[in-house]
Structure 1
């Protein structure tokens, strides 16, 4: 599981264009078809961090029969509804630990990797046979099942397939996340003991909107099966989280980017 966690975390910042998998027609025998992409990426070391770390970026959208397996959004998810417009299913993801932090943040208690599970629902409006022009609206709700922060996070997102054809695709997306106080106090709170140890002021945030963010994903197919995909995005911490001394030591902007080799089948 520890080897799988960094891959899932990298996916958490990489929504996939719904038109990409459609650019390759389904096989006549009903077998699996779709797209898999992998390559290097950079993400914040932990929630609110100023420092970045290199991780593998993985994005996938594979359909087999009436089931669509996707590595996107908050991690790994399965669309169990065989419908071209409506999507629904379970989600599992992971959140990077806070350990080996620099400066005063390194004097705070370490936070283990969190495993989060829940469900998502989405609906696609418009779009041609390749998905171009489609607007995808989604809502996902995740709860920590590892006992790391015991929090609940709800993310609303929208993505638009600006270009999607057999050779090139470009999509833009935006999102915002609502987090409860269990999450905010674990990652952005400072109790009296932690304040005395680190020198940071004590702080007890409430729940609320965690961030707003946007990103762009683009790719080019230089053959029938192989291509390249690039992803860049960022979120901006807001609300009580933005006022935390942990954010002041770190950064409100949380950027991420990746460059991947793509394979479609």
Structure 2
């Protein structure tokens, strides 16, 4: 178990341009009849073998990455398509990495939104596909890494990276602030899950739980 504090500054301009750390920097080039689509860029933070991976780690790190080396931050550039129909939303993103990895990542999700008074609930399945270059960067083990870590060498192929379900519960406090509870249960696909890093030092099933506070500024 690990605890991290994650800053999340979000900027939106007329439902056209959006920017945040989780959602990236994007432009709704298409925005009508429930459709949104456009270019997108995201930042993927690097991996530190000494701190256990997360740059925002506060406590609960591990030594599972010792001997595998650091991975630099990467910028992922691509595009997205989103469709809303009533309470349902489907979204697909495809991005290519530059920097820490040069692989291709595709995220897909479907979410259902419900309201209970002022509370907003979103829940739905999600999955991620990744190319061989991406999975090799984060789950592959070359000869040098094998000698340093004691794990056997492993060469991964591309395919299903993970699948699971995620949800958020948003409770407005007033017109400008809200508390958000978010959770997710995801399982690594075979290509990543068969890595000795996961088999011997990790778990294929990952559970996340977080609590956030948001305040809106109108500029």
Normalised by the length of structure 1, the TM-score is 0.69
Match of 1:114 in 2: 74
Count of aligned pairs between the two proteins: 205
| Equivalent position of 1:247 in the other structure | 198
* Cα distance, 1:59 vs structure 2: 6.8
TM-superposed deviation, 1:104: 5.6
Note closer, same or farther for the CA distance 1:257–1:91 as it changes in structure 2 (3 Å cut).
farther
* Contact map agreement 2:21 2:43 (CA 8 A) in 1: no
Q: Normalising by structure 2, what TM-score?
A: 0.83
Per-residue deviation, 1:63: 4.7
Q: What does residue 217 of structure 1 align with?
A: 168
1:158 aligns with 110
Q: Which residue of structure 1 aligns with residue 101 of structure 2?
A: 149
Higher helix content, 1 or 2: 1
Deviations along 1:128-160, whole A, 9 cap, x unmatched?
xxxxxx1111110011122x2210011111111
Change (3 A) 1:103 1:261: closer
CA contact (8 A) 1:231 1:259 kept: yes
Which runs of no fewer than 5 residues in structure 1 stay unpaired?
A: 1-50, 127-133
Indicate how the Cα distance of structure 1 residues 256 and 70 shifts in structure 2: closer, same or farther if over 3 A, else same. farther
Q: Distance in 2 between matches of 1:121 and 1:171?
A: 19
Instruction: Identify which of structures 1 and 2 has the higher relative contact order when contacts are C-alpha pairs closer than 8 Å and 6+ apart.
Output: 1
Q: Does the 8 A contact of 2:8 with 2:22 survive in 1?
A: no
Contact 2:21–2:42 (Cα < 8 Å) also in 1 = no
Match among 114, 120, 123 for residue 172 of structure 1: 123
SS at match of 1:105: coil
Indicate yes or no: 2:133 matched with 1:182.
yes
| Root-mean-square deviation (Å) | 2.3
Aligned-partner SS, 2:127: strand
